[in-house]
Amino acid sequence: MENQEKDKRVFFTNEDWDKLALYLIGNNARYRENIIIPRIMGPIKIKTREEKIIEGAVESCAFKTVMSCVLGYGLGAAIGLFSASVNPSVAIGDTKQPTAREVLREMKGTMVSYAKNFAMVGAVFSAVECTIESYRGKSDWRNGTYAGGVTGGIIGLRAGIKAGIFGAAGFAVFSTIIDYYMHF
């Protein structure tokens, strides 16, 4: 009988276990004052909530796509300006000298054409790469290769299946080479 009474005795009640857990683990809320950072690691700055929000917005697929589109437009306009200035399309048999207005209109047309094309390629590539990276959960050279293949295929499909296949292969190889060069 005495053994049974000893077995029924409880050393810790549920409240005691809760207090012990709170003492050892703490509550679920974390406060900055409780974080201990070793001095060996050097000065560490903890990001504020606003910094985390801005970082999340900048790293989003939508922001990357819009920025690629805008920067592609600017780069395309610059290349279009250079292209129009190097190779003006003036008729050879025409004896009349083109006016400045005609030359500027032609340059504007070339710049806008190049800018639209570069903006489209940049936006499609960036959107596809970011989507693939989000899906795979990795950031490596394969994301750029896959995105280059998809982008080249989409652009090439406007000219047919064969052009789509060659476009996919060419853009994938180009993306891989550029990615390799940028990382090494």
Q: What is the mean pLDDT of residues 115-141?
A: 93
Name the one residue in this structure whose structure tokens are 């025409």.
94
How confident is the prediction for the chain on average, in pLDDT? 85
| Candidate from 36-50, 139-153, 159-173 with smallest mean pLDDT | 36-50
Question: What's the confidence (pLDDT) of residue 32?
Answer: 56
Question: What's the confidence (pLDDT) of residue 87?
Answer: 79
Q: What is the mean pLDDT of residues 60-66?
A: 94
Structure tokens at 78: 């610059």
Question: What's the confidence (pLDDT) of residue 79?
Answer: 95
- DSSP assignments along the chain, one per residue: -HHHHHHH--SS-HHHHHHHHHHHT--S---GGG----GGG---PPPPHHHHHHHHHHTSHHHHHHHHHHHHHHHHHHHHHHHHHHS----SS--SPPPHHHHHHHHHHHHHHHHHHHHHHHHHHHHHHHHHHHHHT--SHHHHHHHHHHHHHHHHGGG-HHHHHHHHHHHHHHHHHHHHHHH-
| Candidate from 10-24, 110-124, 137-151, 155-169 with smallest mean pLDDT | 10-24
Q: Are 103 and 130 in contact (CB under 8 A)?
A: no
